[in-house]
Amino acid sequence: MSKASVLAIFMVVLVLGLVIKETQGQELCHEYFQLTAPCEKQQCIDMCSSKYKTGKGVCGPAVHQCFCTFSCTV
């Protein structure tokens, strides 16, 4: 094999190793909150972050729902 081929294979292995290391332990969980009024963006964000430290909230898919995504390790 030429030096370029060996270097290319080494780089691919290195990058794959870094990607696998970064994604380990980052399992995400989800929860829907049913609201009585139409969802407001900031209200949803505040609701998720107060219940889960790592929570991120977005409105939808229904008008009266807040979709919360958070780290399962909480």
Rounded CA-CA distance 20/25 in Å is 10
Q: Where are the domains of the chain?
A: 3-71
Banded model confidence at residue 60, pLDDT cuts 50, 70, 90:
confident
Q: Report the percent of the chain where pLDDT is more than 90.
A: 46
Instruction: Determine the average pLDDT of the residues in 51-71.
Output: 90
Residues 64 and 14: their CA atoms lie apart, in Å, by 46
pLDDT of 12 strictly over 70: no
Cβ contacts of residue 43 below 8 Å, gap of 6+? 66
d(CA 74, CA 72): 5
Q: What pLDDT score does 5 carry? A: 64
